[in-house]
């Protein structure tokens, strides 16, 4: 497994791979890897000749400095998880490497970023869109793999790729869950034992809400019931609990078009997100 930390090194490798006719798959991560990340790696390996995994805690997508500081950094453990899988290259740039002196460019997507996580985290998706655009160009990858747990992010990246004519296939992969239904996330490790016991109820309440809506309960009533159930279960602030249309993420009032249920709630000081198809 090759490890590179600069754009120059990365480009030398990917150009050689392309010259040999290899299809390159790319899995961008912020480290603190779990089985969800590893499933993306395996998906990339199944569809590519060579696989690049990046580990970079991107400072520009954190609107709260405390959140950035608290984000786990486990480089050595991450590498130990990737090595047995046969990952071809791990890209580990520094913030200075990613954002050089005088850096002044921003990629911003309108519409898709005005709701859900974008509404409560100003600037977050500008940071995501900018760093992912840079990495897609740096890696020269043919395919990029993202988890559907961050569905809004997936739609934003698809929009960026389409609008900027970046020659890459963006592939969404199913959310990986713990045995009790909790969506796998690097943030889960910050939960206390009691918090970890409560957390799976988010997915359970979401499933109940989705079934109620499919059974004819008005969306607004189902959302109100779910928020009360979350409070009773021990969750804190509900950032959002909404049904939105699949393609444009507009608020849905019925199920005339494909839709998903999105949730972001606080438990202790950890913000948990999830989404499911209705």
**Ramachandran assignment for 10, one of left (phi > 0), alpha (psi -120 to 50 degrees), beta (any other):** alpha
Q: Is 189 annotated as a binding residue?
A: no
Q: Is 224 annotated as a binding residue?
A: no
The contacts of residue 217 (CB under 8 Å, 6+ apart) are none
Q: Is 184 annotated as a binding residue?
A: yes
Q: Is 37 annotated as a binding residue?
A: yes
The contacts of residue 130 (CB under 8 Å, 6+ apart) are 60, 105, 106, 107
Task: Single out the catalytic residue among 18, 37, 124, 179.
Answer: 37
- CA 4 from chain centre, in angstroms, equals 23
Q: Is 61 annotated as a binding residue?
A: yes
Q: Is 187 annotated as a binding residue?
A: yes
**Ramachandran assignment for 207, one of left (phi > 0), alpha (psi -120 to 50 degrees), beta (any other):** alpha
Q: Is 124 annotated as a binding residue?
A: no
Q: Is 76 annotated as a binding residue?
A: no
Q: Is 35 annotated as a binding residue?
A: yes
Q: Is 124 a known active-site residue?
A: no
Q: Is 5 annotated as a binding residue?
A: no
Q: Is 32 annotated as a binding residue?
A: yes
Q: What are the C-alpha distances in Å from 26 to residues 7, 100, 173?
A: 15, 23, 13
Three-class DSSP category at 105: coil
Q: Which residue has the tokens 């790696």?
A: 41
- Under 8 Å between Cβ of 241 and 231: no
- DSSP lists the bridge partners of residue 274 as 263
Burial class (CB in 10 A: 0-12, 13-18, 19+), 18: middle
Q: Is 152 annotated as a binding residue?
A: no
Q: Is 134 annotated as a binding residue?
A: no
**Catalytic annotation, residues:** 37
As annotated, the binding site for beta-alanine includes 61
As annotated, the binding site for (R)-pantoate includes 61, 153
As annotated, the binding site includes 30-37, 61, 147-150, 153, 184-187
As annotated, the binding site for ATP includes 30-37, 147-150, 184-187
């Amino acid at each position: 497994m090759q490890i590179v930390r600069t754009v120059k090194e990365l480009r030398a490798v990917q150009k050689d791979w392309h010259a040999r006719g290899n299809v390159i798959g790319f899995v961008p991560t912020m480290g603190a890897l779990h089985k969800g990340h590893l499933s993306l790696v395996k998906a990339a390996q199944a569809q590519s000749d060579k696989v690049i995994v990046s580990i970079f805690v991107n400072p520009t997508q954190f609107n709260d400095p405390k959140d950035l500081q608290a984000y786990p950094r486990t480089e050595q453990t991450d590498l130990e998880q990737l090595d047995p899988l046969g990952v071809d290259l791990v890209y580990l740039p520094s913030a200075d490497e990613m954002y050089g002196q005088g850096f002044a460019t921003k990629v911003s997507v309108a519409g898709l970023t005005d709701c859900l996580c974008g509404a409560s985290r100003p600037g977050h998706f500008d940071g995501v869109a900018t760093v992912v655009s840079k990495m897609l160009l740096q890696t020269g990858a043919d395919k990029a793999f993202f988890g559907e747990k961050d569905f809004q992010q997936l739609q934003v990246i698809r929009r960026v790729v389409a609008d900027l004519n970046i020659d890459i296939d963006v592939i969404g992969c199913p959310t990986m869950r713990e045995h009790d239904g909790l969506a796998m996330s690097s943030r889960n490790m910050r939960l206390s034992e009691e918090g970890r016991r409560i957390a799976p109820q988010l997915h359970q309440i979401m499933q109940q809400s989705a079934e109620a809506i499919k059974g004819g309960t008005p969306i607004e009533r189902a959302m109100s019931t779910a928020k009360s159930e979350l409070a009773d279960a021990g969750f804190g602030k509900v950032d959002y609990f909404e049904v939105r249309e699949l393609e444009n993420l507009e608020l849905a009032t019925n199920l005339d078009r494909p839709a998903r249920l999105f949730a972001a709630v606080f438990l202790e000081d950890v913000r948990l997100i999830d989404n499911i198809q209705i």
